[in-house]
């Protein structure tokens, strides 16, 4: 089985990840490259591990998490679909079997909230892990006045910490976020994240769990 460290060290993967970083920076969006993908990889795997899935499934989930945003090196629009095809070809070239490479492709092609749907355990875990990564370090452009920044940047700038908890005994997955309410109100957060949270809820349901959103120790959903 192809492992994540081998994929991370692959020259084609490194080059495409770097192109993704420059493309996203040129668009002025939040960080979508190595930091984000490493965190999403870890959390996607942790969700399935926490739910008792087999190690091979966890490993594929970590690979899907790491490669999920590489489609941004093609175009931001439809990056889930372009990234899915790119990842499939890279993994096949590196010797992964067709069944496993297809499972990664399916998950990546369904991670985005516009067209994504939880269609497998890996895709469901990836959706939740991706939406859970909200943090101030993701804002890369210089912000002169935090309060007049656009809502996406403010929501990220306000996020001091976010983490997932998986409770297999209670069939629950919770996204915990600590935000600085002087920068962004809980309502601002909700405005941006409402559709993402709905998708997270569906993804958790696919995994047989309930999804909760906890902001500053208050359970919102
Ligand atoms: Fe994405
Ligand atoms: Fe992402």
- Give the closest ligand to the alpha carbon of residue 44: 2
Among the residues of the chain, which ranges form H helices? Answer: 4-8, 11-27, 34-50, 55-67, 79-93, 98-109, 121-132, 151-158, 186-206
**pTM, full prediction:** 0.93
Tokens of 48: 């399935």
Interval 104-127 mean pLDDT = 96
In this structure, what CATH number is given to the domain that contains residue 188? 1.10.3210.10
- Give the closest ligand to the alpha carbon of residue 126: 2
Domain count, the chain: 1
Structural domain harbouring 144: 4-219
Q: Measured at the alpha carbon of residue 136, what is the angle toward residues 134 and 137, in degrees to the nearest 5?
A: 100
- Give the closest ligand to the alpha carbon of residue 40: 2
Please provide the distance, in angstroms rounded to a whole number, between the alpha carbons at the two ends of the chain.
39
The confidence score (pLDDT) of residue 183 equals: 86
Question: Tens digit of pLDDT for each residue in 51-100?
Answer: 999 999 999 999 999 999 999 999 999 999 999 999 999 999 999 999 99
Give distance in angstroms: CA of 3 to centre of ligand 2. Answer: 21
CA 10 remoteness from chain centre: 21
Give distance in angstroms: CA of 169 to centre of ligand 1. Answer: 30
- Residue 1: pLDDT band with limits 50, 70, 90: confident
Question: Tens digit of pLDDT for each residue in 15-27?
Answer: 999 999 999 989 8
Q: Which residues surround ligand 1, an ion (CB under 5 A)?
A: 69
């Amino acid at each position: 089985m192809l492992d994540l460290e081998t994929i991370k060290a692959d020259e084609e993967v490194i080059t495409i990840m770097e192109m993704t970083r420059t493309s996203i920076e040129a668009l002025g969006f939040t960080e979508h490259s190595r930091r984000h993908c490493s965190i999403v990889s870890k959390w996607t795997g942790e969700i399935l591990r926490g739910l008792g899935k087999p190690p091979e499934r966890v490993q594929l989930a970590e690979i899907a998490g790491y490669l999920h945003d590489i489609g941004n090196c093609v175009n931001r629009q439809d990056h889930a679909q372009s990234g899915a095809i790119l990842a499939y070809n890279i993994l096949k070239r590196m010797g992964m079997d067709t069944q496993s490479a297809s499972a990664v492709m399916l998950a990546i092609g369904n991670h985005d909230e516009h067209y994504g749907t939880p269609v497998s355990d890996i895709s469901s875990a990836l959706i939740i892990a991706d939406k859970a990564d909200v943090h101030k370090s993701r804002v890369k452009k210089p912000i002169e006045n935090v309060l007049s920044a656009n809502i996406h940047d403010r929501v990220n700038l306000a996020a001091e910490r976010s983490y997932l908890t998986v409770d297999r005994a209670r069939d629950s997955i919770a996204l915990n976020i600590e935000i600085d309410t002087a920068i962004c109100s809980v309502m601002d957060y909700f405005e941006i994240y409402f559709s993402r949270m709905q998708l997270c809820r569906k993804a958790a349901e696919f995994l047989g769990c309930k999804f909760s959103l906890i902001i500053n120790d208050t359970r919102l959903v």
